[in-house]
Structure 1
């Protein structure tokens, strides 16, 4: 079996699995390598659901990428014969003047997106589950919803293998390099060579890149599932007061989010909630054991209390489960995506800062473009590794 390829992809989570699938779809001889056995629960791409939305409050320049990502998710769903993207509607709100709702309106205006601005009183009329300041600001996006992370990765890897890609699972990278003639990766199973290399190792990117890297900080976040007691007002559906995916902006405190139970979801079940970016900074071990750390009961209690402030009926519900996942925070909380500043045969994708999964298929296209031709027509200049906000350290 040859160990020579056109492109090697290191890391087969959200971005890497989609990059490998796209490369294979284009007929590129590609190898994918992962330290674990994806889809797995060692990183940032598990938990049954991830929010997806178009009117992006973080930065309006993400919207063209999101439009393409919606198309890609639907194509992947068709090819895999399973639904990967669900439109439940999305409600984002908070106090009067909150930045999340304002940012959504800005993106919607710039990109002609369908959204509805609401005050708190109207939110509580339309969605009586919630409690908001009557003069608060909110935005409802009909096309918001969630995607299925594990199913997406499985579909991407199945497509990649079907189209001829080779996959090396449970194979940590020992070393890698690149020069004018190509790139190579060393694992316990041998040395693999290629013309180009894609690095998307999630929370392990600091370890993979070494000293020549952007500023990245892994954090350990907590996802909590609350028993919905089969309450229709806590579930997705067609009834008038169904629960959308939701997020409430709390100013300087971590935002709180919720994704309702949906038919066919795996374990755990119930309303999935969390505090976005509340988790502590951590140092990773090679086995991913940081994800296995004992769940902090105080964090779970704080999460439940925060949810109950906006969703009062949560006070009477029990916690069914709690799990950890990892964020990899960049210096400015924006993605780091593009060619390595000092190694033109190496593409990097990292620092997704807890809001990246919804982009996975389009980032797969970006990485395939960069690996094959060294450039892309997709609009990623604002995410360049060389931007000041990325904090790239090392030579140069």
Structure 2
């Protein structure tokens, strides 16, 4: 039986950052990852992820996002990797929609560097888009994009440099609090830890089946579109964007390699078993996003040049589950980020380290309390 201080189960988006933060504090930590580091089998693939501060999901996230930006920059400084590019972000939608109201409230409450444009002004400055007369457009100067695979690799690599241990290709079969410790079984081998934090993404319900009613693993499809006017979609000309339309919410990011434009729907395509996800894409799954590209981007071809399939854990209220497992004081959970967790990953790593070290955090995460879904024994 091997004895250590802390186990982090799942070294992906959140787990890699948690391991890095624990190692930064000199806390002895061991990570378990069932695949290799920075794999593309979950939510961290797809070349890019948006970073935005004027937040559609609610202004309560803005303090977390501001701290996350500082930590992204800290990880860049510690590793030498270019992870975050702030090229601005357009938040677009009807001004009376809940999500655009959240954007405006975020700006008003937290003094985000931004501009509000009407549809005519937006068309002059960003002619790549078609805007509707009733659209409000907010340009968030604190937005941009992140390189997800490299970010996970960088955080895990830095954690190891600082003394963390990672067991790769080590699938965790069970966790159990026993006699003042937490027993972890991985690849048939038993380990004991003082505390455990589970950051298993779409696999969360494999370890916590009581969450199945409120947390589902869902299929995500990402799409890239060609154009003969690529210079109009370089990072200095094409800010990232999030857009709400009548029947679809979608986003866009300039591609790093410069030959396509990444535009994708935030819609998901059914519940999946994370151990048996089919990565084929049906034509019907592309219908809405292809139509949106056709309607709103006259310079893009409306058939994607590249498609990739990923997955994430989605809760019924689309807010993550972060905190102590009810009735357990040594086991913590961080999952169910519902497609908008990557930008928050570094601050979530800090929160995870806070919970391990002190059992609490200075950040307001009351809206993420696992107790809303987990009653405990």
Normalised to the residue count of structure 2, the TM-score between the two structures is 0.95
Q: Distance in 2 between matches of 1:276 and 1:213?
A: 22
Aligned pair partner of 1:250 in 230, 245, 254: 245
The 5-angstrom pairing of residues 308-387 of structure 1 reads 308-314=294-300, 316=301, 318-387=303-372
Aligned pair partner of 1:260 in 234, 254, 257: 254
Tell me the residue number matched to 1:276.
Answer: 266
Shift of 1:233: 1.1
Shift of 1:189: 5.2
Q: Distance in 2 between matches of 1:250 and 1:14?
A: 29
Shift of 1:254: 3.1
The 5-angstrom pairing of residues 1-396 of structure 1 reads 3-179=2-178, 181-188=180-187, 190-211=189-210, 215-229=214-228, 231-237=230-236, 242-251=237-246, 253-262=247-256, 270-285=260-275, 289-290=276-277, 292-314=278-300, 316=301, 318-387=303-372, 391-392=373-374, 395-396=376-377
Shift of 1:334: 0.8
SS in 2 for 1:332: coil
Q: Distance in 1 between matches of 2:295 and 2:92?
A: 13
Q: Distance in 2 between matches of 1:9 and 1:211?
A: 20
List per-residue Cα deviations over 1:309-337 (Å, max 9, x = no partner).
111222x3652210011121112101111
Shift of 1:158: 0.5
Q: Distance in 1 between matches of 2:271 and 2:38?
A: 24
Q: Distance in 2 between matches of 1:346 and 1:317?
A: 47
Q: Is the 8 A contact 2:217 2:311 kept in 1?
A: yes
Q: Is the 8 A contact 2:12 2:44 kept in 1?
A: yes
SS in 1 for 2:54: coil
Shift of 1:11: 0.6
Shift of 1:383: 1.3
Q: Distance in 2 between matches of 1:261 and 1:80?
A: 23
Q: Is the 8 A contact 1:91 1:246 kept in 2?
A: yes
SS in 1 for 2:281: coil
Shift of 1:244: 0.8
List per-residue Cα deviations over 1:84-140 (Å, max 9, x = no partner).
111111011123523332211111111121221111111111101111112321111
Unmatched runs of 5 consecutive residues or more in structure 1? none
Q: Distance in 2 between matches of 1:280 and 1:81?
A: 39
Shift of 1:180: 5.4
Q: Distance in 1 between matches of 2:250 and 2:297?
A: 11
SS in 2 for 1:211: helix
Shift of 1:211: 2.7
Instruction: Name the count of aligned residue pairs.
Output: 377
Shift of 1:376: 1.4
Q: Is the 8 A contact 1:54 1:63 kept in 2?
A: yes
Q: 1:119 to 1:359 in 2, by over 3 A?
A: same
Q: Distance in 1 between matches of 2:184 and 2:356?
A: 15
Shift of 1:212: 6.0
* Cα RMSD (Å): 1.8
